[in-house]
């Protein structure tokens, strides 16, 4: 539908220019991805709020023609995200019940699926870093690229908390949290990166991973965003994404689509459009 609207507006449709293969170096792919995304580590370090990293990365991806939707209708046990492999206006869907930083990692994981031209439904946390099957190899590869995008090896190894360390070791919770905050990611991402880069032991990784998974399972039964209390217009913009919502509203304002089309495209009644438009404008001002 977004393609049809852009075509109706006679606007160019961006195409995802990056490609990847399973035999490529994940660190290399991540470096190319960061160059394309144009986000500096200094900028990333300033995203300190719970939702700042998620909202900032969503803005970056949408500006580059990747449509990102969210849904609160699916349990975390069923999926954390999925992607639809299209070179023009590719689609990523995140589970809104996940923690904000968890969604950031899933965003990067699904982005890697797009680079591989392999979409699908995923739960990145279910896959261990060592693959045992062909499917797990793909998932583990996407996890590794996602982690390297968010936490580049040189930046982590050069961090004052990590630079003095030689060889694998165990890490304190406070140090893992400080590193996670520095890169605006979850502790799980930092833990896996330390393991991959030879700064954490296998036993420590497995032990902490089980601890984090237990915490994630608890989150699965505790909705992150109180759907019953969140204003409907906020949920609509979150689920449909800012750029897609803006495109639909613009088409409606210019009488290119009907009121029934708007309700169908956004899944909302017309009486809420003014609030939705206001929410999109406020998000645009921040971004």
- Average pLDDT (32-56) is 95
Rounded to two decimals, the pTM is 0.88
pLDDT tens profile 183-228? 999 999 999 999 999 999 999 999 998 998 888 777 655 544 444 4
The fraction of the chain above a pLDDT of 90, given in percent, is 55
Per-residue burial over 27-36, b if 16 or more Cβ lie within 10 Å, else e, is bebbbbbbee
Vertex 83: Cα angle to 185 and 101 (nearest 5): 15
**Quick one: CA torsion of 124, 127, 132, 133, rounded to 10 degrees?**
-40
With contact defined as beta carbons under 8 Å apart, do 146 and 51 qualify? no
- Average pLDDT (27-35) is 98
* Cα 275 to Cα 240: distance, rounded to the nearest angstrom: 15
| Residue 90 dihedral angles phi and psi, to the nearest 5° | -65, 155
Higher pLDDT, 223 or 283: 283
**The predicted structure's pLDDT at residue 2:** 67
Higher pLDDT, 132 or 170: 170
The fraction of the chain above a pLDDT of 70, given in percent, is 87
The structural domains of the chain, with segments of one domain joined by +, span: 2-220, 232-286
Lay out the sheet containing 81-84: strands in order across.
Answer: 67-71, 91-95, 81-84, 120-122
* Cα 266 to Cα 262: distance, rounded to the nearest angstrom: 6
Q: Please report, in angstroms and rounded to a whole number, the separation of the first and last CA atoms in the chain.
A: 24
* Cα 208 to Cα 202: distance, rounded to the nearest angstrom: 10
Who's near 34: CB < 8 A, 6+ residues apart? 149, 152
Q: Where are the beta strands (DSSP E) in the chain?
A: 67-71, 81-84, 91-95, 120-122
């Amino acid at each position: 539908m977004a393609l049809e609207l852009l075509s109706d507006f006679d606007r160019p449709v961006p195409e995802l220019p990056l490609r990847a293969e399973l035999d490529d170096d994940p660190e290399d792919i991540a470096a190319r991805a960061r160059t394309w995304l144009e986000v500096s580590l200094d900028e990333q370090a300033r995203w300190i709020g719970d939702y700042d990293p998620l909202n900032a990365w969503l803005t970056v991806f949408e500006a580059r023609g990747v449509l990102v939707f969210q849904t609160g209708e699916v349990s975390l046990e069923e999926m954390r995200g999925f992607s639809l492999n299209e070179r023009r206006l590719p689609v990523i869907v995140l589970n809104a019940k996940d923690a904000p930083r968890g969604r950031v990692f899933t965003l990067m994981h699904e982005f890697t699926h797009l680079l591989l031209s392999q979409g699908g439904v995923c739960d990145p946390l279910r896959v261990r870093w060592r693959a045992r099957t062909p499917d797990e190899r793909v998932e583990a590869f996407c996890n590794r690229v996602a982690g390297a995008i968010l936490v580049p090896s040189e930046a982590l190894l050069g961090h004052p908390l990590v630079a003095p360390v030689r060889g694998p070791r165990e890490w304190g919770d406070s140090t893992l949290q400080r590193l996670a905050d520095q890169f605006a990611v979850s502790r799980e991402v930092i833990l896996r990166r330390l393991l991959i880069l030879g700064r954490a032991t296998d036993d420590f990784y497995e032990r902490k991973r089980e601890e984090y998974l237990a915490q994630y399972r608890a989150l699965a039964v505790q909705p992150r965003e109180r759907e019953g209390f969140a204003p409907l217009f906020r949920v609509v913009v979150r689920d449909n994404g800012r750029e897609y919502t803006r495109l639909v509203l613009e088409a409606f304002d210019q009488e290119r689509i009907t009121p029934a089309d708007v309700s169908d495209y956004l899944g909302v009644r017309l009486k809420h459009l003014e609030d939705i438009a206001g929410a999109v404008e406020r998000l645009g001002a921040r971004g």
